[in-house]
Amino acid sequence: MQGLWFIPSLIFGAVQGSVSGNWQMFLFACLSLMVWPLSRWLKNHRDFELDGPVTFDGRTLWIGDHRLPRPEFLWRKPWHQYVWDGLAQIDEGAGLEVLLNQARAKGFRGSAPGVIWLGSSDGQNCEFNVSVDGPHLLVVGATGTGKSELLRLMICGWLGQSEPIDLTLIDFKGGATMAKFAGHPRVIGLATDLVVTDVLAVASTLERQLLSRQSLLAKVEVASIEEYVSAGNSLRRQIIVIDEFGELLRQHPRIVQVLEQIAARGRSLGMHLVVANQSMAGVSRSLLVNLRARIAIGEMDPIDFSQLGFRNRFKGSARDSSWRSANFKTGDGLEMGFLFPVGF
């Protein structure tokens, strides 16, 4: 409708030109009419919501379906930061994919024996050695944050190690997390909430192994598994991975006594706990003081975050839905943020 406003100017200019022979007024009216659709076109191409992905085809930048002018001085002010953030996101996604492919090719092993790959921290590989960075690990994350995916990632890394490692897996999530590893020769025990006797048998076995390892070290008068192996003896490290720790304790409260013994004495005996739970509920003080390495996944309750001993919250976020963000704290107190893949 706004185009109709130019009709009186056109009529007046045409009359003025035909009467006086001065067609300048008519020319100005025509130019004004041409400027109007141009201004409408510019408005439509400059006023749009910044909610689309930033793409670059080698020549032109796009925000969603909107092509940006090549001269940057024609851009609106909000476009600049949105475009640079979008380009950084593209670079980050490409870098994460490269790191994931490299880690997958190595079976999610780390850069040294006993080390596993956790993900990316500031564009570099984030790795974890349970015997050095632990000796035990507590993973806390609400439902849907990728907690079980992270456990699977760690298990893959341990199963692929060149050094001898045994795993005992306790899955109180219906076996969905760890059932796929049941047939692996390094998995010496698997218990789920579907079969009660499995859990009781595993707990009994763990207690016997704890006493057996103490006896072995005492016979040769050494204080740790490292000294025992250095003396020419053979003893595998054992990692006990538990998913849904709170549910395990709810159904089998007595098992906490065995786990507390492992947490207190397992480091020197080569037995390491990796415990995952939705919150801090159910994690006793005696367990917490020995589960010195911590991972907090995603946004979590500030009180739980503080109880885990983190000083700083990782501000980064995974822009790709196939990656999740987490905070990592080693047993020595070193903190870092990292991203880990899900559905790998």
pLDDT score for 312: 79
CATH class name, domain 109-341: alpha beta
d(CA 125, CA 117): 7
Q: What is the pLDDT of residue 156?
A: 95
Give the DSSP H/E element, type plus range, for residue 296: strand 293-297
Q: For every one of its 344 residues, what pLDDT tens digit does the chain have, with 9 covering 90 and above?
A: 455 555 666 566 566 666 666 666 667 666 665 665 656 655 555 666 777 776 766 677 777 777 777 777 667 777 777 766 665 565 555 678 888 888 999 999 999 999 999 999 887 899 999 999 999 999 999 888 999 999 999 999 999 998 889 999 998 887 777 888 988 999 998 888 777 667 888 889 999 999 999 999 999 999 999 999 999 999 999 999 999 998 888 888 888 899 999 999 999 999 999 999 998 888 888 899 999 999 999 888 888 888 888 887 776 555 567 899 999 999 998 999 999 999 87
3-state secondary structure of 134: coil
Q: What are phi and psi of 27, to 5 degrees?
A: -65, -45
Would you state the pLDDT for residue 77? Answer: 78
SS3 313: coil
Q: 51 in the Ramachandran plot: left (φ > 0), alpha (ψ -120 to 50) or beta?
A: alpha
> What confidence score (pLDDT) does residue 266 get?
94
pTM of the model: 0.74
Describe the chain by its helix, strand, coil percentages, rounded to 5. 45, 20, 35
The predicted pLDDT at position 48 comes to: 67
Report the half-sphere exposure of 246 (CA within 13 A, side-chain side). Answer: 11
What three-state secondary structure class fits 61?
A: strand
**3-state DSSP assignment of residue 189:** strand
pLDDT score of 81: 78
The pLDDT value given to residue 39: 60
Q: What is the residue whose two structure tokens read 């790709």?
A: 320
Domain residue extents for the chain: 2-90, 109-341
